[in-house]
């Protein structure tokens, strides 16, 4: 069971906007740690999509955006394209005990 909670699946039609939520608690997202997002296309390794809540690495389209409020974060994808169909994972960090990387359970995005 993941520490960070994501919906198992979301879907949308091409051109639409979808959001994926990620909920943590006061020791991770709600503390001093930001949320980072990864995209995993079918059969490939994950790729960094958003870091530090809102920042996009070079090469990531601005259709992808992140936000955070309190112990929750969201990834928004606008202008959905068929190639966006993938699994998306949120990630945070926790040093309350031993430092550890935390992942959400992942959300499967289906483009209808």
Partner 1 sequence: EVQLVESGGGLVQPGGSLRLSCAASGFRFSSFWMGWVRQAPGKGLEWVSNIKEDGSERYFVDSVRGRCAISRDNAKNSLDMQMNSLRAEDTAVYYCVRVRKWRLYDRYLDLWGRGTLVTVPT
Q: Which residues bind partner 1 (CB under 8 A)?
A: 2, 32-34, 36, 38, 40, 44-48, 51-52, 57, 87, 89, 91, 93, 95, 98-106
Nearer to partner 1, 14 or 57 (CB): 57
DSSP letter, residue 84: G
Judge whether 92 and 6 are in contact, CB under 8 Å. no
Nearer to partner 1, 57 or 79 (CB): 57
Q: How far is the CB of 35 from partner 1 (least distance, A)?
A: 9
Q: How far is the CB of 54 from partner 1 (least distance, A)?
A: 12
Alpha-carbon span 81 to 88, nearest angstrom: 15
Q: How far is the CB of 72 from partner 1 (least distance, A)?
A: 17
Q: Which region, left, alpha or beta, applies to residue 84 given φ > 0 means left and ψ of -120 to 50 means alpha? A: alpha
Per-residue tokens: 42: 């079918």
Alpha-carbon span 45 to 89, nearest angstrom: 12
Nearer to partner 1, 38 or 75 (CB): 38
């Amino acid at each position: 069971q993941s520490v960070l909670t994501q919906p198992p699946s979301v879907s949308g039609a091409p051109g639409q906007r979808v959001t994926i939520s990620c909920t943590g608690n006061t020791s991770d997202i709600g503390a001093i740690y930001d949320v980072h997002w990864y995209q995993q296309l079918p059969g490939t390794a994950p790729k960094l999509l958003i870091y530090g809540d809102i920042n996009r690495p070079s090469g990531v389209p601005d259709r992808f955006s992140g936000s955070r409020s309190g112990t929750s974060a969201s990834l928004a994808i606008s202008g959905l394209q068929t190639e966006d169909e993938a699994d998306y994972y949120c990630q945070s960090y926790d040093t309350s005990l031993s430092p550890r990387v935390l992942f959400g359970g992942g959300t499967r995005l289906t483009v209808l």
